[in-house]
Amino acid sequence: MDAPGKAGGFFITLEGPEGGGKSTQIHRLAASLAEEGHVVWTTREPGGTRVGEMIRPLLLGPRQSRLAPWTEALLFTAARAELVNEVIRPRLQRGEIVLCDRFSDSTLAYQGYGRGLNLESLRRLQKEATGSLTPDLTLLLNLPVEAGLARIPRSAQDRLDRETKAFHQRVHAGYEQMAAEDPRRWREVDASADPDEVARRVLEQASSALRQAGVQPAQRRSA
């Protein structure tokens, strides 16, 4: 009989600069973990709730006019607060694995490092809005700025995609700094590799973290 393990409740986020393939890889990871018997839920930011999906076009719509940096930060955070309250925390409490395409680190990267807002103020805001919820694992899908932006057709670019190269370089540097400062939580994956190879590495990192935390597939948990 398998030894009792942690009964789930594991929070994984995917972060990184534009064009890293987060949306594709989060669904591939969810499918792989589900095949292993885990109960998995995927969501995204901004979005994942009725309120979040209403906020999303205000932030990302390509025809949306420029927003003040703090307006941008507060809208992202409002959508996040609703997502945590409605979706993420309840599912974690039920012992599920929750995968989220971006989370609080995106606000630090884009509105902090990218826009120049005070990082400590943003961190306090995120702590209040999420009830101090921190991912158990953050996968940084990393690739050079130019390579990532080149993957996104002009017709598919959102408001942030169309920011200046200098802005995206600041965001990229911010991600790398955050990952370097907290290597226990962050794992970097080379997103410039073939998508199948990226998926393999993402699953490898996630599976390793789950094993270390004692999270077992649902059908293998002892009563």
Is 50 exceeded by the pLDDT of residue 222? no
* C-alpha to C-alpha distance for 67 and 181, rounded to whole angstroms: 30
Q: Which domain holds residue 148?
A: 11-215
Model confidence pLDDT, tens digit, residues 165-205: 999 999 999 999 999 999 999 999 999 999 999 999 999 99
Whether residue 65 has pLDDT greater than 80? no
**Is 79 contained in some domain?**
yes
Tell me how many domains the chain contains. 1
pLDDT at 63: 76
97 has a pLDDT exceeding 50: yes
Alpha helices in 67-216 (DSSP H): 69-83, 89-93, 104-107, 119-130, 145-150, 165-181, 195-213
Q: Does residue 222 lie in a domain region?
A: no
C-alpha pair distances (Å), 11 with each of 7, 84, 166, 182, 209: 13, 11, 32, 16, 11
Supply the pTM of this predicted model: 0.92
pLDDT of residue 92: 97
Domain with residue 131: its CATH number is 3.40.50.300
Kindly tell me if the per-residue pLDDT of 52 is higher than 50.
Answer: yes
Any domain includes 29:
yes
In a domain, 19, yes or no: yes
The mean of the pLDDT values for the chain is 93
Whether 5 maps to a domain, the answer reads: no
Q: Is the pLDDT of residue 2 over 60?
A: no
221 part of a folded domain: no
Residue 173 inside a domain? The answer is yes
Q: Which helix (H) or strand (E) holds 95?
A: none
In terms of Cβ atoms closer than 10 Å to its own Cβ (0-12, 13-18, 19+), residue 51 is middle
